[in-house]
Amino acid sequence: MSKRYAAVAITRSGIRLALKLGARLDQTEVFVYAKYSGGLEGRGGEITVFDGPVQALLLKLFGDYEGIILFFSLGAAVRLTAPLLRDKRTDPAVIVIDERGEHVISMLSGHLGGANRLTLEIAELLGSHPVITTASDVQGTFAVDLLGREYGWRADSFIPMKAVSAALVNGEALAVVQESGERGWLPPGAELPGHVRLFASRAELKESGLSFSAAIFVSDRLAEGPGEVPGENQDIAVPAECTVVYRPRSLVLGLGCNRGTSAEELEAVVRHTLNKLRLSFNSVRNVATAGIKGDEAGLLALCAKYSWDLVLYTPEQLNTVELDSPSEVVFRATGAYGVCEPAALLSSGAPTLLQPKLKSGNVTIAVARVVYSEELEGSERGRGQE
């Protein structure tokens, strides 16, 4: 896929609009029907002329582009794309535009596929009216299945999304418990409905004495037992099938290792340490260590495997952190009195460690939680909008 979007037009008017959009929307390939292409065959570049069935073309485009923009009727778009649909998590965004360019319709994958966002962008470029029908957008609130997406948050399971989304849009009592992660997840211009309440911890939720039909937990902590929501072993009366758990990227691993330590040994130590702390492996944001380890093959392989950044510090930077147990041995080897502890603290911005230096085989590890702003942007903790 050389471009992000494919614009498909099959009429003269549609082709004119598609070419106009292609010139204004970056990363767009325009596909025009040969019969009405008007000599575009030789232009090449970002224009492709096709002469076969439209559905055969769409079958190929569905796997090659993240957004499909169709310049024909909504009914035709529905009939042509219906056999191609597989899963809302993988289907591309599909946008439909009438051949006069009056309406830009978000037809498919509005949230996860980004069709709603793309609809607004195209409507602005063409001076058209955007048509978006997803309930959370119409109501001006957040989408459960997009929560924290810009920050890289990951849901433990997609299964409860439908039930929790239904609770949100139908005005049922919904608790959002955020124990870690970025606070500015409410979309610009969106408001928190009155039936949604925010809490900083499960303890705060329990102390409220309120009952909820559904819940969203944003936490790097693992459940203490099967079927429990993250954190302490307390009974919160929200069914598991109505509870979405998001894992923010809120943990920093300070790692040190002997030269030649394998990625497998490093990963085993990381997993064992996080599990002992009851912290989620999916919440790791990055690894931090001394600059001298920047070429360590095992560290590089581990970070590449999980798309973690490897943050490196000079001895001078590491030595700015006061340590309880500075090591002369480490200083002679690296020029710093410690590696994993100061690296974790510097990278996370945290004042203390969740896990002080722990040595296991060829690996030393420390864990810190990233410090974020105290306030949730656009809302007030513990209450919804009145």
Can you tell me the distance from the alpha carbon of 17 to that of 97, in angstroms, rounded to the nearest whole number? 9
Judgement on whether residues 240 and 255 belong to the same structural domain of the protein: no
Residue 26 covered by a domain: yes
Judgement on whether residues 74 and 129 belong to the same structural domain of the protein: yes
Low-confidence ranges of the chain (pLDDT < 50): 42, 44, 226-227, 231-234, 374-386
DSSP assignment of 314-364, as one string? -HHHHTTS--SS--HHHHHHHSSS-SHHHHHHHHH--SS-SEEEEEETTEE
Judgement on whether residues 256 and 243 belong to the same structural domain of the protein: no
Judgement on whether residues 223 and 260 belong to the same structural domain of the protein: no
Query: Which residue is associated with the tokens 């998001």?
Result: 246
Tell me, what CATH number does 294's domain have?
3.30.420.180
Residue 344 covered by a domain: yes
Report the pLDDT value the prediction gives residue 341, as an integer from 0 to 100: 96
CA distances, 145 to each of 110, 158, 256, 303 (Å): 11, 8, 37, 27
Domain end: 229, 247, 265, which one?
247
Residue 381 covered by a domain: no
Can you tell me the distance from the alpha carbon of 147 to that of 210, in angstroms, rounded to the nearest whole number? 23
Judgement on whether residues 190 and 88 belong to the same structural domain of the protein: no
Dig out the tokens for 172 from the structure: 């049922």
Judgement on whether residues 242 and 284 belong to the same structural domain of the protein: no
3-state secondary structure of 298: helix
Judgement on whether residues 15 and 124 belong to the same structural domain of the protein: yes
Residue 342 covered by a domain: yes
Can you tell me the distance from the alpha carbon of 312 to that of 291, in angstroms, rounded to the nearest whole number? 5
Residues of the chain with pLDDT > 70: what percent? 87
Report the pLDDT value the prediction gives residue 227, as an integer from 0 to 100: 46
Domain end: 247, 264, 280, which one?
247
At 298-349, the pLDDT tens digits run 999 999 999 999 999 999 999 999 988 888 888 888 888 899 999 999 999 9
Residue 386 covered by a domain: no
Report the pLDDT value the prediction gives residue 47, as an integer from 0 to 100: 85
Domain end: 76, 105, 133, which one?
133
Judgement on whether residues 330 and 222 belong to the same structural domain of the protein: no
Residue 55 covered by a domain: yes
Can you tell me the distance from the alpha carbon of 77 to that of 98, in angstroms, rounded to the nearest whole number? 11
Dig out the tokens for 138 from the structure: 């119409």
- Give the domain range for residue 154: 144-247
Judgement on whether residues 107 and 162 belong to the same structural domain of the protein: no
Q: Which H, E and C letters describe 353-380, residue by residue?
A: CCEEEEEECCEEEEEEECCCCCCCCCCE
Judgement on whether residues 121 and 181 belong to the same structural domain of the protein: no
Residue 219 covered by a domain: yes
3-state secondary structure of 285: strand
Residue 207 covered by a domain: yes
- H helix runs in 25-160, sequence order: 54-64, 74-81, 115-126, 135-139
Judgement on whether residues 225 and 330 belong to the same structural domain of the protein: no
Report the pLDDT value the prediction gives residue 335, as an integer from 0 to 100: 87
pTM for the model stands at 0.69
Q: How far is CA 74 from the centre of its chain?
A: 30
DSSP-derived letter for residue 181 is: S
Report the pLDDT value the prediction gives residue 224, as an integer from 0 to 100: 61
Judgement on whether residues 19 and 47 belong to the same structural domain of the protein: yes
Domain count, the chain: 3
